[in-house]
Each structure stands twice: as structure tokens, then as C-alpha cells.
A and B are shown apart, each in its own frame.
Chain A
Amino acid sequence: MSKSNGNRPARIGFYVCHCGHNISGTVDVAAVARYAQALPHVVVSREYKYMCSDPGQERIAQDIREHALNRIVVASCSPLLHEHTFRTAVEKGGLNPFFFQMVNIRENVSWVNESPEEATEKAMDLARAAVHRVAFHKALEPKRVPILPDVLVVGGGIAGIHAALTLANAGRKVVLVEREPTIGGHMAMFDKTFPTLDCAACILTPKMSQVKNHPNITLWTYSEVSKVEGYVGNYTITVRRKPRYISEKLCVGCMECIEACIYKEGKFPDEFNAGLSRRKPIYIPFPQATPQVVVIDPQTCIEFKTGKCKKSCLEKCDRDAIDFSQKEVVEEIRVGTVILATGYKTFDAGRLPHYGYGKYDNVYTSLEVERLVNASGPTGGELILRDGRRPKTVGIIHCVGSRDRNTNRWCSRTCCMYSLKLAHLLKEHTDAEVYNFYIDIRAAGKSYEEFYDKLLEENVHFIRGRVAEVTDWTARPSEEGKLVIRVEDTMIGVVRRIPVDMVVLAVGMEPQFDAQEVRRLFNISCSTEGFFLERHPKLAPVDTFTDGVFIAGACQGPKDIPDSVAQAGAAASQALVLIDSGSIELEPNTAYLVEEDCSGCKSCLTICPYHAISHDEARKKASINEALCKGCGTCTATCPSGAIRQNLFEDEEIYSEIRGLLTPMPAEAQGGESC
């Protein structure tokens, strides 16, 4: 028995909840209460309509005082819902809140059993097990750990930018880490945004420069997080800053070095223009890149490949910003919370060969078309196809890599709307006949349906049917030189062959290619499709199962700009909640070491998924960091000498619970066994 009630025998109060009809509709609660009354050490046993209500809680506190109870068992709903409620009630009655055990007879019994007899019997079994267990509970103190006020934001797309600015405006110090040479993410590549047709750059670039100029934001582009150590409130993050061979301090972005490069024309695929144009080895991704700093790509630069370049860029730079000897810098920062906004990647259209991407020049992905219609894009906004023609007919194929069991099962949510937007822009730029091939039009958002309506009235064709193939095989002279789309028009009920000049594939959104590595790095989970998993799909959409790590934007699932921004704001405010509370209370269900039993075998070190155990070299013993421990119990089970034990899951507690569960009815037969 634990210290706080000395060696006094257990005096248990047992309460069973009706939960309206949720429990009492199946379980005979009165019978359960009568049964529990007869169990060893049970002093009080009651039933009540709603135990979680104020009178229900008050009953517990009052009974503790009146009957000198020292253990409480409540049989009701899931601990996830009300364990905290009842612990508080127990504390109010003057007991340590951990002298409490909860039995879930709703989710585990009444909701999953149809037979009242069986349900009642199971509820009695579980009640008996809990009564046996609770006698061994110890008094525990929840731990508090302080929260460092600084925040790390990973990813400089619109979600990361918005989260960083929100926190910085609230006076917190933020480090924003971005892998690419510039922030802006996918949004910087877009031409217009649906449904308002605002120019994406016009609304994004002011925010980008705010990030750059904000005194509270440290912006590290061309950098990646390589190591994460610590726990909520106290993370140590290692960031690798790749060399761009240009001094960020000295470069002013005049781009004269680019002009001076011995490559007179761009030669290498330009990432920012989705490969539609060519850049030099020394380049700046786009005119409003932030920071406005040039970068040298060592893969293509002659100086790096052969060492024999005449380095005209170096001569041209009058600020001596170019430094071919720059090395990678490893920085270490300490933050209390982390916001992951690592974004998404687009579906690789080459995986669906029947759509002809990569085979026919005039088949484009939607991202390429965003660049193609953009005024600062590869053609200056002129819609000129790869073969130099201007399209008179365009087919936009929806759901490429979405809603398809062969590729991705999910709906990417944004494609319908951006396809409508592209249809509008293409019609505006070229006055072409535009066809949309869709399965369903999903225009769920403010003013989205109205935008769809507008497109319908613009006489854009909407053909309901999933395209079977895009081919250059012609069946008639009128199809010569065209790409033919073969589709069933399911609304009319006829298969059609539609010759077009240009095909746009509305590619879906997928998890980033390294989402799994990032997940492991920050010790969070992914849902089956590979997007980061939120703690609760409805009620905790930006939290993760790792305290202090939040997610925002399309890394959590396909999302458009308004939703990403909203989620980024939510993640920032969740981080602020932690920071402003100053410290966080941790569930004391942690593992602890009985040092004299530890042989220093190190078995526990490698199996701990939270890196909470280290080896104390001086004493040759394990050492458990209780702030990091999540109470998973792996080490407790692994330790060959039984030196690791776990609060709330002590051997005696578990054995007694099992013994209680397996003790045959009636309970009197086993009386007095547990204490």
C-alpha cells in the first residue's frame, strides 16, 4: 500500500453510470451496483444517471468524506472523455487523484453488446477487475515542465509563412526553415487564385517580404532540419544550412553575376517554371524570390565540375559576395514548440501512361500550365505550346491521380476548383474551346459554386466522364495533328472522340516525397495515405500525438490556400497556448528505474521509441528522462531484470487486475485476497 494511506485497508467507493440510456439501455446498472457492493473492500456502491454531472461528482467527493473512502472506481464511458473529470472529483474529496480507476462500460460494453445478460455480466467482470486493481494504486504527482518561448516553423509555403508571421506578430521569436533557396512554396508558382482570381504573387509576395524583414523571424532558406532532440517545451533542433556559394549578407540581388555567367543562355531545367524554361548554373528562382539572394547550383556549375571556369561571375560582383569555398553550416537551436508546414507534392502524371504525359508534347500538368499562363512564366504569359502552336481547343482532365484505387484513393479537393480557374484563364488567353472532363464537380467552399456557375455560363464544356485515353491515333481527317480524348459523355450516354490541341492533366496532391523521414524525425504519425496525422480529425486538427509539435497546411492532407492559412493560424495559436501557459503538466504514467536492480545491459536504450532513455556511463546504469517518456511500457516489458517499472502500470496493479478479472463469480468466494 502506498504512503498516503499507510497500511490502512482499502475502502473503495464504486459508482456506475447510466449515461442516459447509453449504458442502462443494455446493462442492468442496478444489478452491477448490487454486485459491486458485495466485492471485497467496497464500502459504498451506487448507480446514477449521469456521473459526470455536478451532482454525480459531488456525490463522490461527499462519500469520500462521509465514509472515509480511500479508493474510487467509476464504471462509465471512455477515460479519454472523463478520466480527468473524475480525478478532479476525487481530489475535491481530499484524495490523491490517482487513487482512481475508470471502467469503460459504454464503448467496451453497452455499445458493442446486444444481449443485456452478456453485457451485464461483462460489466460485472470489468468492475471486479478494477476493484482488485485500484487497491494497489499509489499516490502520484503530475510533473510540470517549462516551455521555451521560441518556435520552429518547418516549411516556407503559405502555411509556414502565415504561422511564422502570426507568432512573430505576437512577439515570439520564430525560426523559419525552408529547403528551397526561396520561400513561397507552391503558391508562388500559381498564376491566379480561385474563386476571386486574385493574382497569387500579388497577395503572397508582400507576406514573403514581411517574413524577411520581421525582427522576430530568423529566416533560413536552403536549409533542412537534420536532428530533433528533446521534448515538449524543450526541443534542441539541428539545422543543416546548405552552401549557396553566395554570401547572404553581401548579395543584394542585382543579378549581374547571372548576366556574366559564361553560359550565355539558360541550359538547365528551371525548377520554378516546372521545367518549362532553362536557367543558368547561377540563378535566382524568380524575380520576387525571398531572400533576394542568388544561388549557385554545384551540380551544373563548370567551376565545381572541372575547376577550370574563368569565373566571370566572380569578377562582375563588386560586393565580393560570391564564395566558391562556402561550406555547409550546422546550426543548433532550442525551441519549445514546432510547427510543421512541409506541404505536398503533385502526382507524377507519368504514372498514367494512357494520358500521354511525357509522350505527347502538348500534354501538360496543371502546375506547368500555371507557369505557362503566368506573365513572369517561360513564355511571358503567351499561351504557346511546346510545338509553337497556340491552342484552339483544350481538354482539362480532372482527377488525375485522385479518386482512383490504382493510384491514390483520396479526393485532392483542390483540382476541381483550379481546373475551373485554368479553364477560365485559358479561355481568356486564347478564346479556345475548353472541355472539362470530370467525375463530380466538388465546389465546396465560399463562392466556389458561384464560380462554377460562372464558368458554365462562359460556355466552357463540362463533360461528365473519366477520360479513357489521350491518343494521337486519328480516325478521321478532322483529327489529324490533334490529340484525341476518348470519353463517355455519361450525361448524354454516348462515347465521344474529342480532338484537342492541348491536354491539361489536373494532377492530385500527394504527401511530400520525404514525409516519412520528417515523420520519424519529429516522432509524429502519418495516416494510411502518408499525410501527417492529426491528434483528432475534428477536435484537434492541428495537434499531433507528440506534444508541442503542430501541423498546418497540405502536409496534413490536400488543402487549398484559405484552408492552409486557417490551419496555420490555428497551429500558431495552439503553440501560443503552450508558450503562454509557461509550463505543461505531464501525465505521471511514466517509467522509472529501480536503480539497484539495473545491470546496465542497455537493452532498453534502443527499443525506446521516444529516445527517453540514456546510459549513465559513470554509474553504468540506465537513466530515464521522464519528460520524454510517453508511458508506452516497452522498456518495462523489455528490462530483463525488472528494474524498470511504470507508474499506474505497476506489476502488482496489473496482476491484481488480471486476477480480479479471472476470479469466478460470485465475488465473495475470493474475499480479502487483494489487500
Chain B
Amino acid sequence: MIFRHTDLTRTTKTVPRLIKFEEELDLGFGEEIAAKAYGQKLLSCIQCGTCSATCPLSHYMDFTPRRVIAMVREGFRDEALSTTTIWLCASCYSCTTQCPRNIHITDVMYTLKREAILRGRYPKRYPIPVLARNFFQGVFRTGRNSEARLIIKLYLQTNPLDALRQAVVGMKLFLMGRMSLRQDRIRKIDQLQALLNAVDSGNGKKGGAGK
């Protein structure tokens, strides 16, 4: 790992000036991702930077989308999968509509997110994957999303100290009846779970409650 990821509050970062050896790279990674995200077009990136310039969030990212694509192309697998970039992507599709090579950059970001989860490479206490995981787990178990439980879990797993501060707001919302701790459930949850497991196995995962 030559790049350290940082949280949202750190927007500038120091890249250790290390030498990268070819043996540390995964040379097939570019084609692998390309195959999962609309084909060879990903490889035809000319590094123009339109994606980074048009991205409304690129200044919060540790690496701009352009650099992430370069890293994917050149087989910097671990680095690409541990960027904050892929998690900060808000799926606004600006980059995809403007890309002069018609690369489906948003889909590349989704593919990388999936890949990061599969390989357990995503940043452990980073809110976005944590939110995604808890959302999925909640829905998988009950068939319904409970906002209150989701938010509480998110804060406990990412920033427990901040959870105390947010608790005040939470209490007010609770008292006003804007938030409920009640957990709705659907009937025949086993059928939904079978469905979700089938989707998961289609994604090359063994199935069983989105870990």
C-alpha cells in the first residue's frame, strides 16, 4: 500500500514517495474491471481529467476519478479499492455524460465498490460503506428499513463520540414523533432472503446477509 486513505475531513494528503514494483501490481485488474463495467472502453481512457473537473465531489476525494481510472488500468488494485473516491461517488453521472471516450465511470465506481466489499478492502470505519452494509443487513433481516436503528448503528460503528452529540437531536426528533424505534417486519421474509441471496450469488458471493 503506497496510498493511505483519509476520512472526509482531510482533503489534502501526503503520498509517500515510494517506488512501485511491477510484482506488486495486478496486471489483469484493468481488464477484469472493464469486463464488469461496460467493457473495453474503460481501457481507452486518455486521462483528460474531464471526469474529475465535472465531479461535484472530487475535491473531497483522496484521488480524483481520473487517477482512480489510471490506477485501475495499470493494475494498482489495492490502491484503487481503498480510495475514498469510490465511496464518495454520488452517482450523479456528470462524468459519464461528459467522458469523451464514453466510459461509464459511475458504473466503474460501483464495480470498484462491489470489488472492495468482496475483497474486504473498503475502509472499515468509513461512513458510506458502513451505512450501505447496515442498510442491507436491516432489510435482509426484516424486509423494512428502520431509519432510527440505521442511524444509531452508523454512528456507533463510525464515530461513537459524535453519537452522544447527535443523541440530543435524536431525542428531540423522537419526542416530536419524527423518529420511531419500532421495527416493521414483512411476512414471508424467507422469500425475500432467497431473492437477495440469488442476487448475491450472481455477484460471485456465497450468499447470506450482505457482509
Contact = CB atoms under 8 A, between A and B. Distances in A.
Contact of A496 (B17, B22, B30): B22
Interface string A484-501: 000001011111111100
Interface of B: 2, 15, 17-23, 27, 30-31, 40-41, 43-47, 66-67, 70-71, 73-74, 76, 101
Given A475-B21, A478-B22, A494 B2 contact: yes
29 contacts: A441-B46, A453-B44, A453-B101, A456-B44, A456-B46, A457-B41, A459-B30, A463-B74, A475-B21, A476-B21, A476-B23, A478-B23, A489-B20, A489-B74, A491-B47, A491-B67, A492-B70, A492-B71, A492-B74, A494-B2, A494-B18, A494-B20, A495-B17, A495-B18, A495-B19, A495-B20, A496-B20, A497-B21, A498-B22
Contacts of A212: none
B40 A457 contact: yes
Interface in A475-530: 475-476, 478-479, 489, 491-499
A461 interface: yes
A464 interface: yes
Contact of B76 (A457, A475, A476, A492): A492
A626 to B, nearest CB: 59
Contacts of A498: 22
Given A491-B66, A495-B18, 7 more contacts: A461-B73, A478-B22, A491-B70, A493-B67, A496-B22, A497-B20, A497-B22
Contacts of B73: 461
A492 B21 CA distance: 14
A303 to B, nearest CB: 54
A433 interface: yes
Nearest to B16: A494
B61 to A, nearest CB: 14
A456 B73 CA distance: 10
A499 B19 CA distance: 13
Given A457-B40, A459-B43, A493 B15 contact: yes
B19 A496 contact: yes
Contacts of A463: 74
Interface in A416-457: 433, 441, 453, 456-457
Contacts of A461: 73-74
The number of chain A residues touching the other chain, given as a range, is: 20 to 34
Contacts of A497: 19-22
Interface of A: 433, 441, 453, 456-457, 459, 461, 463-464, 475-476, 478-479, 489, 491-499
Which residue, A433, A459, A464, A494, has most C-beta atoms of chain B within 10 A?
A494
A478 B24 CA distance: 10
B67 A478 contact: no
A463 B25 CA distance: 14
A632 B207 CA distance: 91
Contacts of B27: 433
Contacts of A456: 43-46
A433 B41 CA distance: 19
A154 B200 CA distance: 72
Nearest to B22: A498
Nearest to B44: A456
Nearest to A456: B44
Nearest to A477: B23
Contacts of B22: 478, 496-499
A461 B71 CA distance: 12
Which residue, A456, A491, A492, has most C-beta atoms of chain B within 10 A?
A492
A475 B23 CA distance: 12
Nearest to B30: A459
A494 B47 CA distance: 15
Contacts of A476: 21, 23
> 9 tightest A-B contacts by CB?
A456-B44, A491-B70, A478-B23, A457-B40, A496-B20, A492-B70, A494-B20, A491-B47, A495-B19
A453 B74 CA distance: 16
A457 B23 contact: no
Contacts of B43: 456-457, 459
B43 to A, nearest CB: 5
B31 A459 contact: yes
Contacts of B19: 475, 494-497
Contacts of A433: 27
Contacts of B74: 461, 463, 489, 492
Nearest to A433: B27
A461 to B, nearest CB: 7
Contacts of A495: 17-20
A129 B18 CA distance: 71
B67 A492 contact: yes
Contacts of A499: 22
Contacts of B41: 457
Nearest to A463: B74
A341 to B, nearest CB: 36
B31 to A, nearest CB: 6
Contacts of A492: 67, 70-71, 74, 76
Contacts of B20: 489, 494-497
Contacts of A493: 15, 67
A461 B70 CA distance: 10
Contacts of A494: 2, 15, 18-20
A464 B17 CA distance: 18
A433 B46 CA distance: 19
Nearest to B2: A494
B21 A478 contact: yes
A73 to B, nearest CB: 57
A612 to B, nearest CB: 56
Nearest to A441: B46
Nearest to B3: A494
Nearest to A492: B70
A464 B73 CA distance: 13
B47 A464 contact: yes
